[in-house]
Amino acid sequence: MSDPMRIRLQSAGGLTTVKVLMSHEMESGQRKDEDGKIVPIWNIQDVFATLNGRVVMSSEWGGGVSKNPFLQFVLKGTKPGDKLSITWRDNKGDTRTDEAVVS
C-alpha cells in the first residue's frame, strides 16, 4: 500500500549522487494527538541500497528521521546502465523497493 519513492541520480566522473524521497509518516512515538494520547511509533527502521544486486549501503533509522524522509549518498565507480535499488522496511513490516538506472 505504500507510495513510490522519488529517486534522482546525478552522475559525473564515475560518481553518482543518489537523492531519495520516501513517502512515510515517520511518527516519532513522542507526539500526542488531540486527546492527549501518545501516537504510537510508526517509522521506517531499515533502509538499504543495492547496485546491480550487491548491497552498497545499509542503515537503521529511528523516529527522529523527518516525515517523508530524504536521504542522499554518493556511489563510487558507477557506469551508465548500472541498476540501483532502494528498499525500506518499517516497524509494521511494510516494505517498499524502487529502482533507478544510472545514465
Partner 1 sequence: MFSFNTPFKFVLKHLGAALLYAYAWSAFAQAQQLGVSTDAALAQYRSMLQDANPADLYVAKGQALWTKARGPKAQSLESCDLGLGPGVVKGAWVQMPRYFNDTRRVQDLESRLVTCMEAIQGFNTQEIIAQDFSKGERANIALLAAYVSSESQGMTFKVPQEHALEREMYASGQELFYMRGGTHDFSCASCHTQDGRRIRLQDLPNLSTSAGAGFAFGTWPAYRVSMGSIWTMQQRLADCFRQQRFPKPKYVSPATVALSVFMGVNASGQVADAPGLKR
Partner 2 sequence: MRTDRREVLKKGALVAGLLMQSLGYLRSANAYQQNAFDAKSVLDLYKSLGLSVPVESKQITLTTPEIAENGAVVQVAANTTYNNIKRWIFMVEKNPVPLVAIFNLTEDVTPAVTLRCKFAQTSDFLAVAQLNDGKVFFARKEVKVTLGGCGG
Residues at the interface with partner 1 (CB under 8 A): 3-4, 6, 8, 19, 21, 23, 25, 67-68, 70, 72
The one of partner 1, partner 2, none whose footprint includes residue 6, by CB under 5 to 8 A per kind, is partner 1
Q: From the centroid of its chain, how far is CA 31?
A: 22
Pick 23 or 52: Cβ nearer partner 1: 23
Measured distance CA(32)–CA(9) in Å, rounded: 37
* Phi/psi at 9 (5° precision): -120, 135
- Binding region for partner 2 (CB under 8 A): 15, 28, 30, 45-46, 48-51, 53-67, 69-77, 85, 87, 89, 92-93, 95, 97
Which strand (E) or helix (H) includes residue 101? strand 95-101
**Closest distance between partner 1 and the C-beta of residue 72, in Å?**
8
| Contact by Cβ (8 Å): 20, 10 | no
C-alpha cell at 49: 541500497
The one of partner 2, partner 1, none whose footprint includes residue 83, by CB under 5 to 8 A per kind, is none
